[in-house]
Amino acid sequence: MSVTLKLKPEIETRLRAEAMQAGLSLEDYLSKRIEQTPEPDLENRAVIRLLRQWRAEDAAMTPEEEEEADYTCSLSNILANRRRYVLTTGSSGTNSDNMETNA
In a domain, 69, yes or no: yes
Instruction: Please give the pLDDT value at position 40.
Output: 72
Q: Which band of pLDDT confidence, cut at 50, 70 and 90, is reported for residue 95?
A: low
Three-class SS of 32-83: HHHHHCCCCCHHHHHHHHHHHHHHHHHHCCCHHHHHHHHHHHHHHHHHHHHH
Does 15 score more than 90 pLDDT? yes
Does 101 score more than 60 pLDDT? no
In a domain, 79, yes or no: yes
In a domain, 23, yes or no: no
In a domain, 72, yes or no: yes
In a domain, 49, yes or no: yes
pLDDT in tens, 34-87: 999 877 777 788 888 999 998 999 899 899 998 998 888 888 889 899 888 888
Evaluate if pTM is beyond 0.95: no
More confident residue, 69 or 29: 29
Domains in the chain, number: 1
In a domain, 100, yes or no: no
